[in-house]
């Protein structure tokens, strides 16, 4: 089983000069119940189906299965998703030996900017750039599946 280990932070400064690549992402959830999510995503011109399990106590690790699917299938599956969708631009920002994923949200989550870093282990050291603010790993309000139900603009 694949385990995803990631930490999530609010962004407090300008990261734009360090961006190596940007892509629009649109995603929805076929299932977003506590302990499991089934997500459909279109990233750029590619489609993906992702299943995620429950997060650990700290909110850092969880089971993740992701499969590439034809974009036309992803478009059709998005029609089956629960109400609410995520629309964001993902920016890749290399820092040290890691690449940060900085998501700038649009639509109902406009104004929210989150930075995520994937790690090999929960205690792996990493370089924290000055534009990275408060850590929100494990804060369910910032899970994409929760942002579809309780958008940032309504907080």
- From the centroid of its chain, how far is CA 65? 14
What is the per-residue pLDDT for 56? 84
Average pLDDT over residues 76-83: 97
Dihedral pair phi/psi, residue 32, rounded to 5°: -140, 60
> Residue 86's closest CA among 131, 48, 137?
48
- Could you report the per-residue pLDDT of 82-139, keeping only the tens digit for each? 999 999 999 999 999 999 999 999 999 999 999 999 999 999 999 999 999 999 998 9
Q: Is 152 a catalytic residue?
A: no
Question: Which residue among the candidates 29, 63, 143, 152 is catalytic per the annotation?
Answer: 29
């Amino acid at each position: 089983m694949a385990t995803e280990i990631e930490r999530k932070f609010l962004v407090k400064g300008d990261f734009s000069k360090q961006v190596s690549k940007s892509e629009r992402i649109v995603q929805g959830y076929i299932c977003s119940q506590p302990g499991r999510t089934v997500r459909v995503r279109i990233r750029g011109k590619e489609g993906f189906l992702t299943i995620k399990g429950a997060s650990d106590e700290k909110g850092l690790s969880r089971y993740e299965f992701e499969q590439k699917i034809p974009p036309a299938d992803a478009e059709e599956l998005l029609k089956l998703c629960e109400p609410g969708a995520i629309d964001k631009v993902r920016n890749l920002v290399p820092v040290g030996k890691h690449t940060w994923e900085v998501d700038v949200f649009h639509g109902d989550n406009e104004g929210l900017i989150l930075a995520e870093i994937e790690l090999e282990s929960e205690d792996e050291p990493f370089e924290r750039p000055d534009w990275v603010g408060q850590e929100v790993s494990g804060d369910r309000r910032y899970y994409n599946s929760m942002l579809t139900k309780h958008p940032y603009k309504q907080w």
